[in-house]
Chains A and B, each alone.
Chain A
Amino acid sequence: MDLIDILTSAAFWAAAIRIASPLIFATLGELICERAGVLNLGIEGIMVAGAFAGWIAVWAGLPLWGGVAVAFAAGMAFGLLHATLSVPFGLSQHVVGIGVTLLATSLTFYTYRVVLPEVSSPPKITAFQPFEVPILSQIPLLGPAFFAQTPLTYAAFLLVIVVALVLYRTPLGLAVRAAGENPQAVAAQGLSVTAIRMGAVIVGSGFMAVGGAFLTLSAFDSFFFDMVNGRGWICIALVVFGAWKPGKALLGAVLFAAFDALQIRLQQTPIGAVVPYQLFLMMPYILSILALVVMSRRAEVPAALMVTFNKGER
């Protein structure tokens, strides 16, 4: 049967892992922000900015990893803006986030037009190439699916482990989680809730931007205006789906990406001839909403998410 053939092919799982990679970076970024108590709706715009910043840096002559670093820095800059407005000033995280998304997107498009005024199609760069891990890539099915990816994909999976270790095994991680659960207790320890939350938003935004840069430096080799296309909003749903835990978020991102890869392939089967392709394209968004609804019953949301903290107040 068609479906079985698809689900047991290495190419399908390789595609799923590839599609999951930018989501993993950005979901981890959002997760860090939310664990510290800040909802970051700047994610969509920050991904656009990261995709552009990384790509234009490489186009200007930087090595690929230099592009990743530039994207990370661009993300941190918008993170600093978001953090300043939402943490010490305690402005509505909804409005600030939407504002940051609008600003990051429009600044990106403006810069694109200033740097490349008269191009009809954006220039291409040499993107990250797949790297076959010795021995592991020889394993049947699993090898070509998981161990013949680009270095940036390996970095995404590595980052899940790093973020999980930092969050659960270090004093810093404890402070971040406490800032999102019980900021009063953090302040009572003599730590600055403001500094912890701002730091989390800045670093988290950097990861979101790297997620965007994956699109231009690894998945494709060029920048298009609508390339992020709602992925940021999907990542916010993935954080909820992953119950604010890095491991579960990774699982959610891969599952989600597998579904996305499946719908692309189903379009080419006899089903695709009958069902309009728009329905397939809707699936990721519908799935995200369903995930939000299903997971809403399990309330593991950080207790102080979207709760502003003012010192001396209780």
Chain B
Amino acid sequence: MRLEPIANPGLMRRLAPPALAIAGSFLVASLLALIAGGNPFAVFGAILKGAAGSKFALLETLNRATPLIFTGLAVAVAFRARLWNIGAEAQLYAGAVVTVMLGTGALHWPSLPLLVVIGVASMLAGALLLLIPALLKTRFGVDEVVTTLLFNFIFLLFVSYLLEGPLKDPMGMGWPKSARLISEARLPRIIEGLRLHWGFVLALVSALVLWVINTRTTLGFEMRAVGQNAEAARFAGIPVTRVILKTALLSGGLAALAGFSEVAGLKGSLTLDLSPGYGYTGIVVAMLALLHPLGVVVAALFVAAIFVGADAMSRALGVPSYLADIMLASALLMMVLAILLSKFRVVRD
């Protein structure tokens, strides 16, 4: 077989892939639900009800989407420049650690300036954490996929050390858990009485800002050029190394905001199970969004709905909630295949 480029793919041909990929992942999940003894219609019904069936469910979905928007944006901006940042998980924890370090009483400031300082410091920590693999890539040509992955393990062990040592809550009854943030360091709720905090708004704003950066700034243009063809970009006079490093700072900073938002907005303290793999799920979110910042918001809402819904479904029907992870992994693979098939035609030799 051979792949033949399609000259002018129509609108249908460009919009169909995400739809088909999601439909395909539903098909895979249906089969697996049947194997586990669940009726697929009942399973998806329960997922939908669990994700959006009540005010509480809907807010839970929005809360779950918040960190995914941040990690999804982090991955999207990096992948667009072909910087393979698989380390959003570690960068998320870097943001969370800084939030706890500054927010548990080290600074006694009024709420707004304190939150701004903590947010910016979190971003810096995440940015610096990704700068190391990015420098190893640009200086030594070390593949950043492996280094960012390995950093996830290293940094999680570091967090474990912090939670059993310097950051351990003295009132924590021996649990590896940080002290709680002071009230000034908490992200308040958007509407009093509704369990949804300003981190969600910050995530939406971040998506908007990234969209502006991508479409309206030189950096956005340069990142795209480096991602499409680094050699050609270098030839055109774009400082490729500096663009890669800037992309790393941006990506690491965005991922760290997920940690800031989770600790300051939702949890109020840091434990080792702060993130159930939001960094990795961000990859799926970014790919489903075709790396588009505004698409990331939609994809994160969809992915969060699947996760929240699957938890409720699992409790009601007994089909394991890992069904959600399978759906998303298969959606990711089908998505990249579908994108290819929207641009190329398969021809038999």
Contact = CB atoms under 8 A, between A and B. Distances in A.
B36 A293 contact: no
B137 to A, nearest CB: 10
Contact of A102 (B36, B161, B284, B318): B284
Residue among A81, A90, A282 having the largest count of chain B Cβ atoms under 10 Å: A282
Nearest to B133: A289
Interface residues of B, number: 47
B35 A114 contact: yes
Contacts of A236: 146
Contacts of B219: none
Interface string B151-162: 111100110110
Interface stretch (B104-112, B233-241, B319-327): B319-327
B149 interface: yes
B336 interface: yes
A100 B160 CA distance: 29
A182 interface: no
A81 B28 CA distance: 14
B201 to A, nearest CB: 30
Interface stretch (A61-69, A105-113, A197-205, A258-266): A105-113
A296 B1 contact: no
State the majority secondary structure of interface residues on A.
Answer: helix
Interface string A233-261: 11011000000000000000000000000
B217 to A, nearest CB: 26
Contacts of B333: 81, 85, 96, 99-100, 103
Contact of B150 (A90, A233, A312): A233
Residue among B2, B149, B287, B330 having the largest count of chain A Cβ atoms under 10 Å: B149
B326 A106 contact: yes
B337 interface: yes
29 contacts: A89-B337, A91-B336, A94-B84, A95-B332, A95-B336, A96-B333, A98-B283, A100-B333, A102-B329, A102-B332, A103-B326, A106-B325, A107-B326, A114-B320, A117-B318, A229-B153, A230-B149, A278-B161, A285-B151, A285-B154, A289-B142, A289-B150, A292-B136, A292-B140, A292-B142, A292-B143, A293-B136, A299-B141, A310-B3
Given A81-B333, A312-B2, 13 more contacts: A41-B145, A96-B336, A100-B333, A106-B328, A109-B325, A230-B150, A282-B154, A282-B157, A289-B142, A289-B147, A293-B140, A293-B142, A297-B140
Interface of A: 41, 81, 85, 88-92, 94-96, 98-100, 102-103, 105-107, 109-110, 113-114, 117, 229-230, 233-234, 236-237, 276, 278-279, 281-282, 285-286, 288-289, 292-293, 296-297, 299, 310-312
